[in-house]
Structure 1
Amino acid sequence: MLKLSILDQSPVSAGVSHREAVQQTVQLAQLADRLGYTRFWVSEHHNSQGLAGSSPEVLLSTLAARTSRIRLGSGGVLLPHYSAYKVAENFRMLEALYPGRIDLGIGRAPGGTPHTAKALRGAEANLFEGLERFPAQVSDLVGFLTDTIEPGHVFEGIRATPLVESMPQVWLLGSTGQSGVYASQVGAAFCFAHFINGAGGQQAVRSYRSSFQPSALNVVPQATVCIYVLCAETTAEAEEQATSIDLRILQMEKGEFTGVKSPKEAASYVYSDWDQTRIRDNRSRMIIGNPSQVRDGLRRIADSYGVDEVMVVTGGYRAETRRQTLELLAEMFRLRPRLTG
């Protein structure tokens, strides 16, 4: 049976405050926990009007306290901005509090504009140097989490506290094959962001598996794929709600970082020929439709990647649309009996 998981970006719809958007994420995690989803990840974005999630570590502590079973993780911590040691300590603390339920997803994207990245790293920071240091940071992070910092290393003798027997599951996230290369080198799990890049992911996962090196993290490769999903009772309803996602992605590509617009606002937006082309192309990053269409689409994407788990990014203008997607998928894939209320 295909396992389903969720990446929630705390989207901010027009007329909704950032506080409300974060509370909607908490409520969605609680619903996912009741419905039987495998894991629930939250993202990291900065200086964004349309996305409220900026601190996965803090949000995860609340989600873990308000759920009981589901795995929780970052999708992901943007490691170039931070100290690998501090990230290791943050997630060891989460693992100490909620053992066996924490995932540490790591990304290398800026999560905002270059100007915002400088605010995160310091005004004098060299942004290109941060990306160049990423492989070494990943290696250091794994060393801190597994207590395998080698003798002679600059950090020899330093241990990440609290000292706990278990550790979070480490994932590398990416929309190109390079993150898969890094994941294979350290033995981490790998999640391909199909919702960001709809091309090349299958090859990236195959390459990751073929070059995987067992480590203290994993002895066998583990991969998943993340894709936009919107499911409704009818195809017409799904297509209407999906216009909000179409417009949001288009505006992000154009540098218009606003909140999620309603289907009515999307219908009144003036689209150029280029806009229409981009919307058609971006549909390769989504699965939209009624329950049977979405079920078949998820099975196809899983088969093409050779994975037994798919992570969905739920979209739509209203929180109710995201909840409906989760409920319909849970019913279709028989995760748990459908819940209401």
Structure 2
Amino acid sequence: MTKLSVLDQSHVCEGRTAYDALSETTKLARETERLGYSRFWVSEHHASPMLSFSSPEVLVAHLASATSHIRVGSGGVMLPHYSAYKVAENFRLLVALHPRRIDLGLGRAPGGYPLATRALQEDKTVDIRKYPQQVADLVGYFYDALPPDHPFAGLPVSPVISDTPEMWLLGSSDESAKIAASQGAAYAFAQFFGTPGGEDAMRIYRAQFQPSVLNDRPHSMVATLVVCADTEEEANLLATSSDLFFLRLEKGINQTSLPSVETALHYPYTEYDYMRINQYRQKRIIGTPDKVKRQLLEMRERYGADELMINTPVHSMEARLASYRLVAEAFGLTL
């Protein structure tokens, strides 16, 4: 059976508040658990009013408490901002509270605009080239395996337990695939951004994979944007919200919410805008359950991915829930 999971970014939808968005994320986690999805991940973004949170580890704790068995994790923690030791402490505690249910997805992007990055890294010298070493340090902390010559060798991570989070490296480039392969980590490709080159990145990951304490063989996932409805017309209509959202994002327009379908339909698009939206649509999966299932399976085959993760930025909460339900039913998750 195909393993399906959920990526939710807790968009603040037009006409609603951050309180509403967090409540909707909690509701979505509970519902997708009931539907049979495997994982529920939340992302890290900073200084973004259109998103309702910036600390995935805090939201992971809440969502894990609100559910009973679905794996909950970060998609992901932007590691260069932080001490590897502190991230290890946070996620070791989460695992102690929710054994065998916590995923630690890691990224190296800033997750926000330059001013936010400077504030996060205040008085700290950050070298992105040290990211692979940070990942290695995390593994060393979790498995008590720091080299003897490491400056923090023997430093325990509290609470001292045998369980560890499942570690994933996230990315949208060949470079992130190479880092994941060299560390023996699981790898998730962020296709929902519309970034090209995912199939090549996955091939590189599999070809260069080196077994480690994390995994003895490659394990991969592709995350994509999906909107599913009973009819093509309805699915395409629901997707107009994300069309406008990504168009504004590309133009650098400040946004405080995910636009409603009505706002999207009345936006004064130019010919260039329509061209860009059509290009976005080529990277997304939008349609009826049969079409969505077929295209997801084709994507899994192209990427050689073990798992699929779905992101559904739809303004209507009812329609968002229905989209996940229809996909789950198409794949037989709810049997």
TM-score, normalised to structure 2, is 0.97
2:322: which partner in 1? 324
Distance in 2 separating the partners of 1:97 and 1:284: 41
Counterpart AA for 1:7? L
Counterpart AA for 1:133? K
2:294 corresponds to 1:296: yes
2:190: which partner in 1? 193
Correspondence list, 1:1-341, <5 A: 1-122=1-122, 124-126=123-125, 129-258=126-255, 259-337=257-335
Distance in 2 separating the partners of 1:55 and 1:121: 15
Distance in 1 separating the partners of 2:215 and 2:189: 18
- C-alpha deviation, 1:262, in angstroms: 1.1
Give runs of ≥4 in structure 1 deviating > 2 Å: none
Identity of counterpart residues, as a percentage?
A: 48
Tell me the SS of whatever aligns to 1:185.
Answer: helix
Q: Deviations over 1:201-221 (max 9, x none)?
A: 011011101111111111111
Distance in 2 separating the partners of 1:237 and 1:109: 34
- C-alpha deviation, 1:294, in angstroms: 0.6
- C-alpha deviation, 1:34, in angstroms: 0.7
- C-alpha deviation, 1:254, in angstroms: 1.2
| Equivalent residues of 1:230, 1:325 under 8 A apart | yes
The unaligned stretches of length 5 or more in structure 1 are none
TM-score, normalised to structure 1, is 0.95
- C-alpha deviation, 1:285, in angstroms: 2.6
The unaligned stretches of length 5 or more in structure 2 are none
Counterpart AA for 1:105? G
Tell me the SS of whatever aligns to 1:133.
Answer: helix
Q: Deviations over 1:158-206 (max 9, x none)?
A: 1211111111110000011111111111111000000113411011011
Distance in 2 separating the partners of 1:281 and 1:155: 49
Counterpart AA for 2:35? L
Tell me the SS of whatever aligns to 2:193.
Answer: coil
Distance in 1 separating the partners of 2:175 and 2:270: 34
Q: Deviations over 1:30-89 (max 9, x none)?
A: 001111101010011111121112111111111111111111110000101111000011
Q: Deviations over 1:223-247 (max 9, x none)?
A: 0000000001100000011010100
- C-alpha deviation, 1:125, in angstroms: 4.2
Distance in 1 separating the partners of 2:129 and 2:254: 28
Distance in 2 separating the partners of 1:302 and 1:234: 23
Counterpart AA for 1:247? L
